[in-house]
A and B are shown apart, each in its own frame.
Chain A
Amino acid sequence: MSPEKPDSTTKQRTVFICQGTGCVSGKAFEITAALKAAVTELGLKDVNIDYTGCHGFCEQGPVAIVEPEGIFYTHVTPADAREIIESHIRDGKPVERLFYKDPATGEAIPYHKDIKFYNMQQRIILRNCGRLNPERIEDYIAVGGYASLTKALKEMNPEMVIEEIKRSGLRGRGGAGFPTGLKWEFCRRAAGEPKYMICNADEGDPGAFMDRSTMEGDPNTVIEGMAIAAYAIGASEGYIYIRAEYPLAVKRVRLAIQQAEAKGFLGDGILGSGFSFHIHVKEGAGAFVCGEETALMASIEGKRGMPRSRPPFPATSGLWGKPSNINNVKSLATVPVIIARGADWYAATGTEKSKGTCVFALTGKIANSGLIEVPMGIPLRKIIYEIGGGIPGGKNFKAVQTGGPSGGCLPAEYLDSPVDYESLTAAGSMMGSGGMVVMDEETCMVDIARYFLSFTQAESCGKCVPCRVGTKQMLDILERICRGEGEPEDIPRLERLGNDIKAGSLCQLGQTAPNPVLTTLRYFRDEYEAHINEKRCPALSCTSLISFYIDPDKCQGCGICLRSCPAECIAGDKRLVHVIDQEKCARCGTCLEVCPARFGAVVKVSGETLDVPAVPTPVKEKPKAAAA
């Protein structure tokens, strides 16, 4: 990022529009077209309109950045295009109303580099995302792309590459954190030909989108990482298995492969060496379990994606029974940087056992949702309150969920613990693929546990009994508790079942499925007890356990709730206090949403009944001053 002030005399400028999935849904294509039209209309010569992949700050989307000065625009619409070009590009006056506003102070921040969300991050994996055009390989080459592959092929033998990755301390970013270099070494040493190099881009965890953003924003780095890995293990064929739900990622990866082939970075005799490598794209067909490596390989073979027991590990017997190595998108995106800058440089970031950076998809009840990359070991508090900007609406933090359906919910007392593989596992959660969902006081922890179980239960492939039947039983119990039909014995029952499923399941899906339940039982047991013993949902979230009432002291008889109620269960009339028929009420909360804030007459309660009149009564007269 250029440090100088905006300067209308700067010769060539570029307006980069984000064209990641998030911003595209906010009309990024139309904005690009409108900007181009404005440039043509005004006859400007010294400006380019270009696009990038995801910046990670999807909450503020569609976003645009004007280089070289680094002015950052948020919530851009096609209607803003003309003003950006006219005022900023032509007259040198940046459009202030589109600047990012700090959620805490409300201060407008013009420069990308001054925005806390970005300047507290350290981007290695996402280094190019939002900085270059992902559909032009030349842009990637211009920032040093494919230099690492060239270096590996010309200056290093495969053993040296493996040694470098081992020394860097890089661990698998897909969840379990197995050392990447060691994995490569196992595969290199395994007997059998051919060998396969596979990239796992089946990002199925709900609440995670970093692999999608990496592939959409910088597909070449993944391809370069795959080629270096293939060289290290001795593979000549590679597969990249991408979720079919990510059409834009599929498109950009395919395009990058074509361009890399044309430039000689893929194909036969790469860069004049004896090394050949071909990459095939396989689209997933919607099965979460295919993120498990043996299931993923079965799926590439055209079979049902069911895991098998290990050993034999894929390194010795993987795809079609041949030695195979499988790495996550983020691990592979890191590889070119390690080769370029060296293992020591990489290992200088992070903690003793968790090196480098980790990417999180920060979502949920948080001011700045988006994709972030931070050094391993950073405290959770820093992520949530400084980068994430805290909880919106003045609500209180309750928990943070990491690791998706395999992870757990951590309470406030963990806010100061470091984020790394070991600390998260010790707390009962896991790093997983990097989803980080923030929950506030309105999130019911029993409902969250039920939600995750309903997901894993539906995605269980059905091969082994503990997972297939066990998750179903756990889900039934959780649904009962949420309906207010729980029994005190349900808590030990859930714990026993959860531990048995963890111990007895074939693959990580089942082995980790109980984690959301076990961690919420560990840290939020009082919420389970309230649901079971008092039939009360402390977060006022479980529909069966809440009721809505209209406060007779506050209702002014305006009739908005009566007209909006979809269940037609509100009685009342002008100047009469309205009354909700508790029998007919569907507990949708519409009345609470529509009741004007100046009255605030609708209340939501759980575990109690309020004493209100059964039929409409005249509105209580207010003192004159307040009424006026």
Chain B
Amino acid sequence: MIPLVEDTLTKADVQDKLGEVFSHYQGERQELIPILQETQARFRYLPAAAMREISRFLRLPESTVYGVSTFYAQFKLKPLGRCIIRVCRGTACHVRGSGKVLAEIEKQLGIKAGETTADMEYTLETVACIGACALAPTMTIDNETYGKMTTQRVAEVLGVTRKA
């Protein structure tokens, strides 16, 4: 089971942002995934307090909201870093050495895939395929794609975001 993060956010803290999210929806069950996506876009994760409010809004058991949130890889129950780095582990990237690129990033950031740096700057994830296989091995930082990666280029690419 994936534990809910005990954060300090309360119902009052999430109400404003959620009210805006809910204003785009009718409160039907089929809206659960889009609501979770929009909520995550605002909080950068799914706070427990927000999930409780969503279950109330859709009149669904909290367990259902939790179940859907943990089923899909997109949803995060822990706060994410400022930059999200995704290293593609698709087949084309795998045979062209994405494993080494991932190891180099892990080394430079001092975290493993799935973790966030202590200063909340970077979250490192792996994805199955970003569909830019001809540029393998690839990685993305937020929505920017970097192709034909090498271990030597890692510092350069990470440097881009450090300056920002």
Contacts and interface: CB of A to CB of B under 8 A. Distances in A.
A365 B131 contact: no
Interface in B140-164: 143-147, 151
A419 interface: no
A206 interface: yes
B131 A369 contact: no
Contacts of B10: none
A24 B132 CA distance: 11
B32 interface: yes
Most A-side CB within 10 Å, residue of B67, B100, B132, B147: B132
20 contacts: A58-B132, A204-B129, A206-B89, A207-B91, A212-B131, A283-B37, A284-B72, A285-B36, A286-B75, A287-B72, A305-B72, A363-B92, A363-B134, A363-B136, A364-B92, A364-B95, A435-B91, A443-B95, A455-B89, A459-B128
A552 interface: no
Most B-side CB within 10 Å, residue of A21, A282, A588: A21
A316 B100 CA distance: 49
A525 interface: no
B68 interface: yes
Nearest to A203: B131
Interface residues of A, number: 60
A25 B129 CA distance: 15
A299 interface: yes
A282 B90 CA distance: 24
Interface string A255-266: 000000000000
A46 interface: no
A152 B96 CA distance: 46
A26 interface: yes
A363 B134 CA distance: 6
A59 B134 CA distance: 5
Q: Report, as a range, how many residues of chain B touch the other chain.
A: 35 or more
A203 B92 CA distance: 15
Given A22-B147, A244-B37, A404-B91, 9 more contacts: A25-B146, A206-B94, A207-B92, A209-B132, A286-B72, A288-B128, A304-B68, A371-B134, A455-B89
A451 interface: yes
Contact of A365 (B95, B127, B128): B95
Nearest to A244: B74
A218 B121 CA distance: 37
B30 A285 contact: no
B48 to A, nearest CB: 19
Most B-side CB within 10 Å, residue of A25, A204, A287, A588: A25
A58 B37 contact: no
A288 B72 CA distance: 9
Contacts of B127: 245
Interface of A: 21-22, 24-26, 57-59, 61, 203-209, 212, 243-247, 282-288, 299-306, 361, 363-365, 369-371, 401, 404, 435, 437, 439, 443, 448, 451-452, 455, 459, 461, 566, 588-590
A610 to B, nearest CB: 24
Contact of A304 (B71, B134, B146): B71
B120 interface: no
Nearest to A440: B95
A566 B92 contact: no
A302 B91 contact: no
Nearest to A305: B71
A370 B133 CA distance: 8
A285 B40 CA distance: 11
A588 B100 CA distance: 8
A25 B72 contact: no
A285 B72 contact: yes
B24 interface: no
Q: Which 6 A-B pairs have the closest CB atoms?
A: A58-B134, A286-B73, A206-B90, A25-B145, A285-B72, A363-B92
A298 B91 CA distance: 28
A586 B100 CA distance: 12
A321 to B, nearest CB: 13
Interface string B63-79: 00001100111110000
B145 A361 contact: no
B94 A451 contact: yes
Nearest to A442: B95
Contacts of A204: 128-129
Nearest to B31: A302
B136 A304 contact: no
A207 B34 contact: no
B33 A299 contact: yes
B29 interface: yes
Nearest to A371: B134
A455 B128 contact: yes
Contacts of B132: 21-22, 25, 58, 209
A589 B100 CA distance: 10
A364 B137 CA distance: 10
B84 interface: no
A209 B130 CA distance: 8
A438 B154 CA distance: 26
Contacts of A455: 89, 128
Nearest to B146: A25
A302 B68 contact: yes
Contacts of A243: 131
B146 to A, nearest CB: 7
Contacts of A590: 151
Contacts of A302: 28-33, 68
Contacts of B29: 301-302
Contact of B134 (A285, A369, A404): A369
Nearest to A248: B143
A206 B134 contact: no
A302 B67 CA distance: 11
A285 B67 contact: no
B75 to A, nearest CB: 7
A288 B90 CA distance: 12
Given A206-B89, A285-B74, A363-B134, A303 B68 contact: yes
Contacts of A303: 32, 68
Nearest to A447: B94
Nearest to B89: A206
Given A207-B129, A302-B68, A363-B134, A285 B90 contact: no
Contact of A208 (B107, B131, B143, B144): B131
B135 interface: yes
B55 to A, nearest CB: 12
Nearest to A56: B134
